[in-house]
Amino acid sequence: MHDLAAKWCVRIDMNEIVLLLFALAIKHGVCDLALQALYCRPSNKHIFLSPRAMIHSLHHGVGAWIVLLPFTNYLTAITLALLDGFSHHIIDFCKSTLVKNKKWTIEGKMYWVATTVDQNLHFSIYLLIAYLVTII
């Protein structure tokens, strides 16, 4: 490995990957539940540039950056945090648009199917982020 590349690479082991995934899950709970309830209601996520939806996505991006800093270098942390924030916004927009267009409500089964897909996509992004931390 070239000396410059070695300087910027951070090697992490399996225990650290599990810890990173756990920290991302905790971040997700804090941002998707507590912070969203406190600062982002109503979010109008079906409107792509809704200010509250954008604040919600910013919470996720900043939270991911904070979580990632101990596991990787600054540039990688900010890049992956941007990936988290932008992907979170797009996933939420798609789910919210579908739910609104189909007129699904929180009492209906399809709302919960859409929410399940939404959450699984978010956690798939976290798995991708953890993988990218290992190879960048």
Q: For residue 50, give the nearest of 62, 36, 34 by alpha carbon.
A: 36
Whether the link from the prior residue into 42 is cis, omega within 30° of 0, is: yes
Mean per-residue pLDDT of the chain: 93
Note the pLDDT tens digit of each residue in 24-73. Answer: 999 999 999 999 999 999 989 999 999 999 999 999 999 999 999 999 99
Task: Give long-range contacts, CB 8 A cutoff, 24+ apart: 3-11.
Answer: 8/73, 8/75, 9/136, 10/71, 10/72, 10/73, 10/76, 10/133
